[in-house]
Amino acid sequence: MGFWLYCTAMCLLVPAVMLYFGWRFLNRPPQKINALYGYRTSRSMKNQQTWDYAHQVCGKLWFRAGAVMLPLSLLAMLSGLGKDTQALGIWLMGVVLVQVVVMIATIFPVEKALKRKFDKFGRRIG
């Protein structure tokens, strides 16, 4: 039971981080373009407008994805209750892999939104 609790706590880390940083990017995004913290892609770092817009879009996506993944991850771990440690460890790896894929997949809609709103030089379109 102790290992299951540990695995469940580890499983909830990715959704919790997405919830926290989604909220943070929406409410207190990084003010200046920097190389350490924030949504950092070449398109988002073109200028301050693209930087701010990218954090707004990414914040919404991460907050929503984290809010959906948190209870789903908990349900997934409940189905692992009673399994031996090796099976539970493999199950945890699968759940976390899906979470990380979702986290990385959010890059595509953010970049698409940036592309629709700004040209390749970072100037606002329309």
CA distances (Å), origin 95, targets 9, 31, 33, 46, 64? 12, 34, 33, 35, 18
Residues 99 and 115: their CA atoms lie apart, in Å, by 25
What is the model's pLDDT at position 120? 86
pLDDT category at 82 given cuts 50, 70, 90 is confident
In this predicted structure, the answer to whether residue 38 has a pLDDT above a threshold of 80 is yes
Distances from the Cα of 21 to the Cαs of 4, 24, 55, in angstroms?
26, 5, 10
pLDDT tens-digit map of 86-121: 999 999 999 999 999 999 999 999 999 999 999 988
Q: Is it the case that residue 33 has pLDDT exceeding 90?
A: yes
- Identify the band that residue 36 occupies on the pLDDT scale cut at 50, 70 and 90: very high
Listed residue (10, 6, 7, 19) closest to 103, CA to CA: 19
| Closest to 77 (Cα-Cα) out of 92, 62, 93 | 92
**HSE (side-chain half, CA atoms, 13 Å) at 69:** 25
pTM (predicted TM-score): 0.89
> Is 53's pLDDT higher than 70?
yes
The contacts of residue 74 (CB under 8 Å, 6+ apart) are: 8, 11, 12
Residue 126 has a pLDDT of 66
**If you search the block for the tokens 């209750």, which residue do you land on?**
81
Distance, CA of 66 to CA of 88 (rounded, Å)? 22
